[in-house]
Amino acid sequence: MKNIVALVLVLVLLLGGVWVVWQWGFCRFYVGPDEMAIITAKAGDSLPPGQILASKGQKGVQEDVLAEGRHFLNPFLYEHQIMPAIKITAGKVGVVTAKVGAELPEGEFLAAPGQKGIWRQVLGPGKYRLNPVGYAIELVDAISIPIGFDGVITSLSGQQAPDGRFAEANEKGVRQDILQPGLYYINPREFGVNVLEIGVNQVSLLGKQGSAVITKGQIMTQNRAMDELQRNLLQEQQEKRADYLSKSSSIAQGAQRYETAKREKTARKSPMDEVAKDTPAATFVLNQFVEFPSRDGFEISLDMTVEFELLPKNIAWIYKSYGDLPAAVDKIIMPQILSVSRLKGSAYGARDFIVGEGREKFQSDLTEALAKILAERKIIVHSALIRHVNVPMQILDPIQQASIAQEQDLTNKEKQNTARKMAELNTELSLIEQRREQVAQETEKLKAEIQADQEKQVAEIRGETLKLSAEIEKQTAGIRAEKVTKLGRADAEVVRRVEGEKARGFQLKVKAFGEPAAYNLWTFANSLNKDLKVNILHAGPGTLWTDLEKAGLGELGGAAVIQKQ
């Protein structure tokens, strides 16, 4: 029994070792972090006609791919191919075209996940693992609207919106909502975006040379990736405008005529020559100019600049009604400028365009009329500036000479007025100087009087003060003398009384002792040291030395001894 168990254990260990070697040595493969594995099954059911990706249990390229990590597959049943994963960087959009899935309904060209065709949904920045056999991914730029521009959205799918109305959801046409400056991940197969300049733009009419429309330049950002996207978008927009310009004969002829005029070296250079030399790519030229007969029959042409503004809320309506900015300028702005200029200008004589007041009034009337008419088209006009007026020389020269003579006469009159005013001014200045000196003298006089009066008052006050001080000092001296006298008398009286009382005390003491000698003895005794001791010895039996020893006198002896204790 033990042998059987041991044999079973050996077989199990052997089979386990073989399985480990098989799995880790032949079936194992690794997919990196930025990779994916395409799996092909060698066995299974055959694919139906039209199916290109196999599901589990079917033979062929499997629809599902393997992500990063360690995987184990039987090499006799499966093959694997390691491929890079699909990475979409910032500023890019992935447009997916599915080769598998259900067929689209008739009339549709954008698919949802699970349908065959171009997906409506796009892939934003990130990492994706889609089987390249069944899905193709096209990388396109995201829409980056620069500052100073708005994006007009045109829906490319759905039913066509009715005429005169903006497209709504699931309708084809221009939409009312616009894109503000920013970055948008939009499917270019679903929506078209055209950028239009908002804010102030200019139309410059260069006399017979044509008209240059100068739009605002691109505002560069600090982000290089965003800058590149905006540059690409604006370049695409310029290509669309170039196509429109090439199809418009008036604009194309105007561009050729304008470039020819620029190359010619004329005696009078237009103020727009320098502008045109440095104009950006957004500048385009129209074969239109302002020319009209004056009220007195002379041909007048103008160089003028009209500043107009497109508001963001009106951009979609303008684009839907007229098209891009060149089309709006060509169809609406320029015809109104030409019409109003000719209508207003024909009411003025040639002289009015030379003399400042008439020219200023014409400019004011032109601006007011243009602003009123274009406001109905949702375009705001800020100003119409007349830079130069071309008037025939046969009338220009006499008018200029007359104007010069008139201005010279006015100048001479003004010089005379100036000289008269200068004389009056000098007179007034002399009077002012005279009055100033008079005021200075009066001021000095007043200062001297005030100073003298002040000095007098100070002297009087000082004298009164000295007088009062002397009187006070006199009174103080009298009081001081009286004080000394009284103090002397008091001291003498004290001495007299004290000494008298002392003498009376001595008399009473002498009287008490009976006679002066007794008082003197008492005084003498009272003045002796209290520590003195008086011993009285009497001579009697015994030896002298014994008595002296008892008396404490040693070798001294006597009848009476005073000993200091």
In a domain, 442, yes or no: yes
Same domain, yes or no: 558 and 473: no
- pLDDT the model gives residue 30: 93
Q: Tell me how crowded residue 227 is: count the other CB atoms within 10 A of its CB.
A: 15
Model confidence pLDDT, tens digit, residues 129-138: 998 988 999 9
Same domain, yes or no: 540 and 503: no
User: Alpha-carbon distance 288 to 231, whole Å?
Assistant: 30
In a domain, 34, yes or no: yes
Model confidence pLDDT, tens digit, residues 57-69: 889 999 889 999 9
SS3 content of the chain, % helix, strand, coil (to 5): 50, 25, 25
DSSP codes of every residue in 300-365:
EEEEEEEEEEE-HHHHHHHHHHH-SHHHHIIIIIHHHHHHHHHHHHTTS-GGGGTSHHHHHHHHHH
Same domain, yes or no: 36 and 71: yes
User: Alpha-carbon distance 3 to 247, whole Å?
Assistant: 99
In a domain, 180, yes or no: no
Query: How many domains, the chain?
Result: 4
Same domain, yes or no: 292 and 340: yes
In a domain, 552, yes or no: yes
Contact 347, 292 (CB under 8 A): no
Which whole-number Å values give the CA distances from 392 to 298, 354, 388, 398, 401, in the listed order? 7, 11, 13, 11, 14
pTM of the model: 0.56
Same domain, yes or no: 337 and 407: no
CATH number for the domain that contains residue 287: 3.30.479.30
Bridge partners for 564 per DSSP: 532
Same domain, yes or no: 387 and 398: no
User: Alpha-carbon distance 273 to 278, whole Å?
Assistant: 9
Identify the band that residue 558 occupies on the pLDDT scale cut at 50, 70 and 90. Answer: very low
Same domain, yes or no: 429 and 551: no
Same domain, yes or no: 358 and 242: yes
Q: Give the range among 83-97, 120-134, 366-380, 494-508 with minimum mean pLDDT.
A: 494-508
DSSP 3-state of 78: strand
Domain membership of residue 447 as a residue range: 394-513
Pick the last residue of a domain from 391, 408, 427: 391
In a domain, 137, yes or no: no
Torsion of Cα atoms, 480 then 483 then 484 then 487, to 10° = -160
In a domain, 64, yes or no: yes
The encoded tokens of residue 549 equal 């020893």
Contact 229, 144 (CB under 8 A): yes
Model confidence pLDDT, tens digit, residues 245-281: 666 644 444 444 444 444 443 444 443 344 334 433 4
Q: Would the pLDDT of 218 be above 60?
A: no
Same domain, yes or no: 480 and 346: no
**Edge-to-edge strands of the sheet including 171-179?**
159-160, 171-179, 149-155, 191-197
Tell me the Cα Rg of the chain.
65
User: Alpha-carbon distance 432 to 422, whole Å?
Assistant: 15
Pick the last residue of a domain from 84, 100, 124: 84
The encoded tokens of residue 346 equal 């024909």
Same domain, yes or no: 367 and 413: no
DSSP codes of every residue in 461-514:
HHHHHHHHHHHHHHHHHHHHHHHHHHHHHHHHHHHHHHHHHHHHHHHHHHHHHS
Contact 148, 198 (CB under 8 A): yes
Model confidence pLDDT, tens digit, residues 526-556: 777 777 776 655 555 555 545 555 555 444 4
Same domain, yes or no: 216 and 330: yes
In a domain, 504, yes or no: yes
Same domain, yes or no: 208 and 246: yes
Model confidence pLDDT, tens digit, residues 278-323: 433 445 566 667 777 888 777 888 888 888 898 999 999 999 988 8
How far does the chain reach from its first CA to its final CA, in angstroms? 140
User: Alpha-carbon distance 32 to 313, whole Å?
Assistant: 51
In a domain, 306, yes or no: yes
- pLDDT the model gives residue 4: 81
Pick the last residue of a domain from 84, 102, 129: 84
Q: Which residue has the tokens 């000479």?
A: 401
User: Alpha-carbon distance 103 to 526, whole Å?
Assistant: 159
